[in-house]
Copies of this chain bind each other. A is one copy, B any other.
Amino acid sequence: MKIAVLGTGMVGQIIAAKLADIGHSVVMGTRDPAKTLSRKEEGTPNAAHITDWMKSHAAIPVVRYAEAAQHGEIVILAVNGAGALSTLTLAGAQHLAGKTVMDITNPLDFSKGMPPSLFVCNTDSLGEELQKAFPEARIVKTLNTVRADLMVDPAKLTGEAITMFVCGNDAGAKTAVTSYLKTWFGWKDVIDLGDITSARGTEMLLPIWLRIWGVLQSADFAFRIVR
């Protein structure tokens, strides 16, 4: 399948690598490839500098957002929440129309200190804002409630089934994404929470996620809905 992964940070790297590994035609999108590749900062413990990363993933092109989105039959949005709207704008509404867009972003606001708060919540969500701005895209909010390595390997923790959610207005897109989560990554417990307004609920998990992370001093945890 032709897949666009928008974003070259930790989440983008881990998802793109996994999808390429299992045989998909993955293209990574970034704002300005020349600038991305010339960035001077080092990689982090979780994400390689993109130039280093590309050496070990030479088969995955890194191109502009629009070019990536044009390539993808499905588009995976894996950027910081603050950049989500501008990323889809640069990707181009015409390259998103009719396509399933997996939205992994969280509206984290780091401007008021740590832990971050949310720049939209409660009566709105980033998922809704994206759906409103791109009405022809089939936005499905998902995977935003676990760390990147668990997104693509949910059995990694203990083998105990952890729970993932899908939220969106398009039933077909949610069914497709649920199937992708299961077949690509091995998710076993996926709950369809409802329309895109239910993204408020999954984005509002972030504050407790961040607190638990702080207490455990580890992101090796995830929510399971016991029922």
Contact = CB atoms under 8 A, between A and B. Distances in A.
A1 interface: no
Contacts of A198: 208, 211
A207 B201 contact: yes
Interface in A183-227: 191-194, 198, 200-202, 204-205, 207-212, 214-216, 218, 220-227
A201 B211 contact: yes
Interface of A: 112, 117-118, 121-123, 157-158, 160, 162, 165, 191-194, 198, 200-202, 204-205, 207-212, 214-216, 218, 220-227
B211 A207 contact: no
A225 B208 CA distance: 11
A165 to B, nearest CB: 8
A32 to B, nearest CB: 33
B221 A223 contact: no
Count this chain's copies in the assembly: 2
Given A211-B201, A223-B224, A118 B122 contact: yes
A49 to B, nearest CB: 30
A220 B191 CA distance: 15
Given A194-B211, A221-B226, A224-B225, 6 more contacts: A157-B226, A162-B226, A165-B208, A201-B208, A204-B204, A221-B225
A165 B215 CA distance: 11
A210 B208 CA distance: 16
B225 A212 contact: yes
B224 A226 contact: yes
A200 B194 contact: no
8 contacts: A118-B122, A192-B215, A193-B215, A200-B207, A202-B208, A224-B224, A224-B225, A224-B226
Contact of A225 (B112, B192, B223): B223
